[in-house]
Structure 1
Amino acid sequence: AGCSSTNTNGPTPVAAGTGPKDTGTFPNLNIKPQVAAPQFTEAEKNAKLAQLKADENAQAAKGGGPKVANQAALTDLAKKHGDETLKQIEAKCDPALDPTCK
């Protein structure tokens, strides 16, 4: 069973895009290339960095991430989960593939 395709009309046509062309000359590296967008000024850069820092401080003031209702229960679950997972791996038992796997 190799590759299969529903297209039986022959080879796929190659895109007729424009690629590199040999002009017979070398590029002039002394000509400054055009930029795609205007560059940030130093003032714009500082304003954006200040806004990011303000957002970071606002997030930190909220306490960072979501609060956990019972940290001890989650820690206990993590310890048990690791041991159970190792047992499944060592026994080469995958409950996703075999529902009777314990």
Structure 2
Amino acid sequence: MTINIGETVFFGAARFCRVGMAIALLGIAGCSSTNTSRPVPMAENAGPKDTGTFPNLNIPPQVANKQFTADESKAKLAELKAAKNGQGAKSAGGAAGNQAALTDLAKKHGPQTLEQIEGKCDPTLDPTCK
């Protein structure tokens, strides 16, 4: 009981003092006086200048190749869509397309894997193991 009271009195007060000191320091730092009543003078020749160093961000970059026209873009997009559809047609057949085969595989795969993990049946050591 005494320890809890001591923590509340001493550490609680110190926490408030630290927070108060931090607020005071931030207030002092934030209120430093600067003369903002006059506008800042601008350089006479303000603007982008070529300094001769790399990279010069004031010069637009050159394109690596000519850009696609709208017709070329449509042709390339049609070619990509045709390739996509061709890939989809290939994967639709076989065991992946047959839901019954996938369900049967799911029923058998789990128990077979557990048997191999538990060491009850190792097909590499015993070729007759199923």
TM range (shorter): 0.3 to 0.5
Question: Larger C-alpha radius of gyration, 1 or 2?
Answer: 2
Structure with greater helix percent: 2
Give the TM-score, by structure 2 length: 0.36
Structure number with the bigger relative contact order (C-alpha 8 A, sep ≥ 6) is 1
Q: TM-score, normalised by structure 1?
A: 0.42
